Amino acid sequence: MQRRTVLKAGLGLTILPFMTRFGFAADQKPVGFWYESASPENQDNLKTILIDPFNAAHPEDLLSIDFRGSDLDNQLRIAMLSGTGPDVVFTAGPSYVAAKAQAGQLLPLDDYAKKYGWNDNLLPLFLDLGKYDGKLYALAKTYETLGLFYNKTTFKTNGWNVPTTIAEFESLADEMKAKGLIPFGAGNADWRPANEHYVSIVLNSIAGPDKVYKALTGAIPWTDPAFVAAIDKLAQWWDKGYFGDNYFSLTLEQAFAQIATGQAGMAPTGTWNFTEIPNYFPQNNAEPGFVGFPSASGDPVYALGIGSTLSINAKSDNADGAAAVLDYIFKDDFYSKMNSVWQGEWNLPLNDLSGVKLSDKVSPLYIEVMNTLSKAVKAGNYGYTTWTFLPPATDTYLVSGMEEVWLKKTTSADFLKKLDQTFKTEKDAGKAPAVPARV
């Protein structure tokens, strides 16, 4: 589910493991894995695709998963500070990895990577993103991108073309608004960090990935005029009503559903929403579409994100078992089975997707987008999402600071000045995630 999605009401409090630790045999070693939230259907998918087959193939180990809900990050922090916690550590992204690695809470994975061949089997960029101080501490569970979802049926009815430039994008949004549609299917009622989806979009599509890379590496400040122009543009979109009147009261799911029903024209958001397409588009007789986000030049921009990572607890009593779980996950077979039933949450960064075989029920659009994203990453044609590449305090401020800009409590320039100060402090303290050199 990652940092961008939350579970439907009533399901986020499930903390019951599929297999408790009370029933393992004397010669079995438990492997604990704390997960965030998952629907009952996807809890079953984890049981049948991961837990049961792993335990059958590794009789010396006993894997169990505890669903900790939206409080997982806080529970992990408390447990690991006391030297306890799960064997397999799920984090919300590289910035969390850096902090935990710096504190000595994660086990270096370099020897396991060599043993299991991860250095060859996974995309090099994501191995680099899992490193801290030259050592590998995390594997990316999900990689994703931001783009533009739209309703092909609505577009066809209105004779609209998919925009490729920022100018075309704004012109289309104005036309949608004139026809009574909400230009953006957007909301943050259940996940305030949705704000940074849009910040990431404008930083990459307006200022450009090269500028963002220079800021992340400290070559230029976040107060650069290109970033001020990007945030000013996002503020203009808010002022023009592109986000509608109910941004702060709509959940992520409710906002995305508006695209399928034709109430909203477009959804500038991430690939994790492929999970929602089967829930809304078929019953509305609508066909979904997705493209890389438009840019000033007309070339699509794929802002790269890591939805979550997997690591091993430095205090684990069964590190070998935890490593075996990771290796089981990062395989063609697991990728094929899990993505056949749960799209958008298990896009593992496998180096070669030729061995992956998805169910006929999987949308061809999802397969096309994931292949396009994989090729873009290999070619170095990608941008940077804030939740993946900014250190934690900087990212936290970005989420609240953007609201202050929208609500006229601060200016774009002052927002970026404070962002830059926070970033420099964290970078100097060694808390910034790794930023691989651009190809």
Q: Is residue 411 part of a domain?
A: no
Q: What is the mean pLDDT of the chain?
A: 92
Bridge partners (DSSP) of residue 91 are 309
**Same-domain check for residues 264 and 362:** no
Amino acid identity of 20? T
Q: Is residue 14 part of a domain?
A: no
**Same-domain check for residues 292 and 198:** yes
User: Checking DSSP bridges between strand 61-67 and strand 29-35, what pairing results, if any?
Assistant: parallel
pLDDT at 407: 98
Domain end marker among 378, 411, 429: 378
Domain end marker among 303, 335, 362: 303
**Same-domain check for residues 43 and 132:** yes
**Same-domain check for residues 154 and 299:** yes
The answer to whether residues 343 and 274 touch, using CB atoms and an 8 Å cutoff, is yes
**Same-domain check for residues 258 and 210:** yes
Number of folded domains that form the chain: 2
Dihedral of CA atoms 407, 409, 410, 415 in degrees, nearest 10, equals -70
Q: Is residue 157 part of a domain?
A: yes
Q: Is residue 421 part of a domain?
A: no
CA atoms within 13 A on the CB side of 302: 22
Q: What value does the CA radius of gyration of the chain take, rounded to a whole number of Å?
A: 21
pLDDT at 27: 81
pLDDT at 70: 80
Q: Is residue 12 part of a domain?
A: no
**Same-domain check for residues 150 and 100:** no
**Same-domain check for residues 173 and 273:** yes
- Dihedral pair phi/psi, residue 184, rounded to 5°: -110, 125
**Same-domain check for residues 290 and 326:** no
pLDDT at 224: 98
Say which CATH number the domain at 242 has: 3.40.190.10
* Domain ranges, residue 187: 146-303
Q: Is residue 15 part of a domain?
A: no
Q: Is residue 314 part of a domain?
A: yes
Q: Is residue 372 part of a domain?
A: yes
The answer to whether residues 348 and 142 touch, using CB atoms and an 8 Å cutoff, is yes
**Same-domain check for residues 295 and 329:** no
Pick from 326, 373, 275: nearest CA to 117: 326
**Same-domain check for residues 282 and 323:** no
pLDDT at 45: 97
The answer to whether residues 293 and 268 touch, using CB atoms and an 8 Å cutoff, is yes
**Same-domain check for residues 67 and 152:** no
Domain end marker among 278, 303, 328: 303
The answer to whether residues 122 and 349 touch, using CB atoms and an 8 Å cutoff, is yes
* Residue 179 tokens, joined: 């026809």
**C-beta contacts of 347-350 below 8 A and 24+ residues apart:** 347/142, 347/143, 347/144, 347/271, 347/373, 348/122, 348/140, 348/141, 348/142, 348/143, 349/122, 349/123, 349/125, 349/126, 349/140, 349/143, 349/377, 350/121, 350/122, 350/123
pLDDT at 25: 62
**Same-domain check for residues 27 and 167:** no
Helix 94-102 and helix 392-406, axial crossing angle in degrees, nearest 10: 140
Residue in the structure block whose two tokens are 């500028």: 211
Mean pLDDT per block of 10 residues along the chain (439 residues) reads 43 44 68 94 97 98 95 94 97 87 96 98 93 95 95 97 97 98 97 96 97 98 98 98 98 97 97 92 97 93 93 98 98 96 92 91 91 87 94 95 98 98 95 87
pLDDT at 20: 43
pLDDT digit string (tens) for 223-255?
999 999 999 999 999 999 999 999 999 999 999
